[in-house]
Amino acid sequence: MDSLIPFQDLNLLPDPPISSSSTAATHLVTPKIEPKTEPFDEPPPPPAPTQQPQPPHLQPQQQEPQHFAEESPSPPGEDSLYTEFHRVSELFRTAFAKGHRRYGDVDGVDPDSRAIVPFNPEETSQLATVVKPRISYKRSSELVRVTDLGLEDERYFRDLVRRTRMTFDGVRILSMADGSSGKRVRGDLIAASLMRNRGLWLNRDKRIVGSIPGICVGDIFFYRMELVVVGLHGQTQAGIDYLPASQSSNGEPIATSVIVSGGYEDDEDSGDVIIYTGHGGQDKFSRQCVHQKLEGGNLALERSMRYGIELRVIRGIRYEGGITSKVYVYDGLYRIMDCWFDVGKSGFGVFKYKLVRIEGQPEMGSVTMRLAKSLRSSPLSVRPAGYLSLDMSMKKENVPVLLFNDIDTDNEPLYYDYLVRSVYPPFVLHQNRNATGCECISGCAEGCFCFLKNGGEFLYDQNGLLLKGKPIIFECGAFCKCPPACRNRATQRGLKHRFEIFRSRETGWGVRSLDLIQAGAFVCEYAGVVLTRDQAQIFTMNGDTLIYPSRFPAKWEEWGDLSQIFPSYVRSLYPSAPPLDFAMDVSKMRNVACYISHSTKPNVLVQRVLYDHNNISFPHLMLFAMENIPPLAELSLDYGVSDEWTGKPLLLTEGSG
């Protein structure tokens, strides 16, 4: 720490002063309520007509988009993509068609669940017709700007983008999880291809200038293909996306978005102002080797400047510790203020454009990423005031859990002991006497006992990402002979992301991460002291703070849902799990999860996991990211409470959930 004043970590004080007569035990844990009304579960009816004519794309999407009917040349690599598609179809088919059996100490069996993707010979021919597409997917030439979306429309489009990205990630992770072929699998391309065949790419029927409905400044993408899938930037390679002159109604090209990656020698990026170099004339090392011409994207940028058309800017940023070396951050809208022909560093003529960020937009994602990076290395030099503790866990977690409040004097989280894992009543653990585990000394693979317990699959990929949600996941545990690094122990290795419990005016205490959390990644356990129903009743009478796990809605069902890709997809309910009938006391000990805010459209889900005992009625509640969560963005969890805040301590009243 570079701070001149010695930092007093308040969490290290033996007895934090309690200002009022209230004690920690009487504090009620109330999930924080998102100040929003209930979002749509179903796509809404078409927006009511207003004085302003609605952009045509706001009409409900048609199932079979006719605009895909035109023939256009396939992008390079298309053939291998369809080979991949076929391979993955086979993979899904064989993986899911396995019968499920009853194993050892597992008693949850759903006899009706057999295959996720039911397979019969007729389907092979259906698949075959998909493999050889007769249609291609030319983009529309209609240029629209979407403005003045109502709150409901905004919510609808945000959810549409969210679901689309979840499908993308679900297919991507699943297709990459099978490493048996030994070759590198491009899950992003497979996901994009499958989704295109199903007409699931967004915004192909219109070319949108300006903001894309449902995409927010600061959204982070790991793959260029994902930008194409959501319609943020329609080019898989080129840095400038534009409507070509040949398709434009007035015969002039119009630029809609650029990717600024900092790879070009003549680019200058100072955040709000970018000097962007046009394209053309660069060698494979991004060095200029011939003069640029005012054509294609260069001309489109120049035309956009003349017409005052705004430009979406996406920055490619190096990111260490991710599954890709680079991430793409949407940084919002810029205006092209100037354009000139210049001699570049290599001595060749280049077109330069001065892009200036439009004011009044949220903070740029790339700036937030930089801030988070500084906070990771030296929080006190970035924020000299506001930190109450630099590690609430006092080294019980792998990484620090910080406590920050710069808006008031509340320091309530200091009153609780930090609990890393849930604590179970002795009788739960006593049932372990006859427990069995797998015998995989060198690591678990297909055929392992735990693999079979999970219905013949592992639910995590090699990076520990959740492949799909399940009623319950059996991880390898104390009775298994496999090493701690086993793939099937993803939630036992502790925190990977540095979290910060912070005070906010909107949600009270909340949680954010200083690291980028990738969709599907393990976040943390929801930890507490586990109580049986009888014990819980006594505690409730004392007014203690209890969490009822049965109330968490089954958000895991949304993760890895392939029904949009395979219409006959049925989620496997095996292994099944009984309803939860326990409570957790968090009145004296708790972990970071306890401060996560409530939302009905959460970015974190609860997955039940068993590993240190075999009592299926008392699983661990493990939290996983449902989307890429940018650094410093607030985490949210659906607590299963009404959105309409009644002021009642909902977690205190017992219910069936």
Give whichever of 587 and 607 is closer to Zn ion, judged by the CB atom.
607
Give whichever of 443 and 543 is closer to Zn ion, judged by the CB atom.
443
Give whichever of 306 and 493 is closer to Zn ion, judged by the CB atom.
493
Give whichever of 446 and 506 is closer to Zn ion, judged by the CB atom.
446
Give whichever of 413 and 437 is closer to Zn ion, judged by the CB atom.
437
Give whichever of 313 and 438 is closer to Zn ion, judged by the CB atom.
438
Residue 258 engages Zn ion in binding (rule: CB under 5 A): no
Q: Is 453 helix (H, G, I), strand (E, B) or coil?
A: helix
Q: How far is the CB of 172 from Zn ion (least distance, A)?
A: 24
Q: How far is the CB of 456 from Zn ion (least distance, A)?
A: 13
444-463 positions binding Zn ion, by CB under 5 A = 444, 448, 450
- Judge residue 306's burial from the number of C-beta atoms within 10 Å of its C-beta, 0-12 exposed, 13-18 middle, 19 or more buried: exposed
Q: How far is the CB of 98 from Zn ion (least distance, A)?
A: 17
Distance CA(156)–CA(241), nearest Å, equals 26
Give whichever of 476 and 514 is closer to Zn ion, judged by the CB atom.
476
Of 225-233, 398-406, 440-448, 575-583, the segment contacting Zn ion by CB under 5 A is: 440-448
Give whichever of 353 and 449 is closer to Zn ion, judged by the CB atom.
449
515-534 positions binding Zn ion, by CB under 5 A = none
CA atoms lying within 13 Å on the CB side of residue 241: 27
Residue 490 engages Zn ion in binding (rule: CB under 5 A): no
From the list 117, 212, 476, 593, which residue makes contact with Zn ion (rule: CB under 5 A)? 476
* CB neighbourhood size of 94 (10 A): 13
Residue type, 318: R
From the list 305, 438, 465, 596, which residue makes contact with Zn ion (rule: CB under 5 A)? 438
- Spatial neighbors of 526 by CB under 8 A, at least 6 apart, are 422, 547, 549, 584, 591, 593, 594, 606, 621, 622, 623
Q: How far is the CB of 444 from Zn ion (least distance, A)?
A: 3
Residue 482 engages Zn ion in binding (rule: CB under 5 A): yes
Give whichever of 77 and 104 is closer to Zn ion, judged by the CB atom.
104
DSSP H or E stretch at residue 530: strand 529-532
Of 15-23, 234-242, 471-479, 571-579, the segment contacting Zn ion by CB under 5 A is: 471-479
Closest CA to 487 of 442, 443, 436: 443
Please count the residues of the chain: 657
Going by the DSSP 8-state scheme, the letter that residue 180 receives in this structure is T
Q: How far is the CB of 458 from Zn ion (least distance, A)?
A: 9
**In this structure, is the dihedral angle defined by the CA atoms of residues 307, 310, 316 and 322, taken in order, positive or negative?**
negative
Cα 461 to chain centroid, rounded:
16
Give whichever of 381 and 436 is closer to Zn ion, judged by the CB atom.
436
Q: How far is the CB of 491 from Zn ion (least distance, A)?
A: 13
Give whichever of 445 and 570 is closer to Zn ion, judged by the CB atom.
445
Site string for Zn ion, 385-414 (x = CB under 5 A): ------------------------------
284-323 positions binding Zn ion, by CB under 5 A = none
Q: What does R_g of the chain's alpha carbons equal in angstroms?
A: 27
Give whichever of 599 and 614 is closer to Zn ion, judged by the CB atom.
614
Q: How far is the CB of 435 from Zn ion (least distance, A)?
A: 14
Of 75-83, 424-432, 461-469, 488-496, the segment contacting Zn ion by CB under 5 A is: 488-496
Give whichever of 72 and 436 is closer to Zn ion, judged by the CB atom.
436
Encoded tokens for 325? 């070396």
Encoded tokens for 444? 């678990």
Residue 488 engages Zn ion in binding (rule: CB under 5 A): yes
Going by the DSSP 8-state scheme, the letter that residue 605 receives in this structure is E
Q: How far is the CB of 477 from Zn ion (least distance, A)?
A: 8
Encoded tokens for 172? 């991507």
Task: Say how many residues touch Zn ion, by CB under 5 A.
Answer: 9
From the list 440, 596, 629, 651, which residue makes contact with Zn ion (rule: CB under 5 A)? 440
Q: How far is the CB of 464 from Zn ion (least distance, A)?
A: 13
Under 8 Å between Cβ of 516 and 369: yes
Encoded tokens for 16? 């934090």
Q: Is 442 helix (H, G, I), strand (E, B) or coil?
A: coil
Convert 340-405 into a string of H (helix), E (strand) and C (coil).
Answer: EEEECCCCCEEEEEEEEECCCCCCCHHHHHHHHHHHHHCHHHHCCCCEEECCCCCCCCCCCEEEEC
Percentage helix, strand, coil for the chain under 3-state DSSP, each rounded to 5: 25, 20, 55
Give whichever of 182 and 484 is closer to Zn ion, judged by the CB atom.
484
Q: How far is the CB of 213 from Zn ion (least distance, A)?
A: 44
Under 8 Å between Cβ of 592 and 635: no
Of 115-123, 374-382, 426-434, 486-494, the segment contacting Zn ion by CB under 5 A is: 486-494
Q: How far is the CB of 439 from Zn ion (least distance, A)?
A: 7
DSSP H or E stretch at residue 157: helix 151-177
Q: How far is the CB of 430 from Zn ion (least distance, A)?
A: 24
Site string for Zn ion, 11-50 (x = CB under 5 A): ----------------------------------------
Beta strands in 219-280 (DSSP E): 220-221, 240-243, 254-260, 268-269, 273-277
Q: How far is the CB of 95 from Zn ion (least distance, A)?
A: 18
Q: Is 88 helix (H, G, I), strand (E, B) or coil?
A: helix
Beta-bridge partner residues of 268:
275
Going by the DSSP 8-state scheme, the letter that residue 520 receives in this structure is T
Site string for Zn ion, 596-625 (x = CB under 5 A): ------------------------------
Distance CA(148)–CA(150), nearest Å, equals 6
Q: Parallel, antiparallel, or unpaired: how do β-strands 582-585 and 529-532 relate?
A: antiparallel
Of 25-33, 442-450, 518-526, 549-557, the segment contacting Zn ion by CB under 5 A is: 442-450
Binding site for Zn ion (CB under 5 A): 438, 440, 444, 448, 450, 476, 482, 486, 488
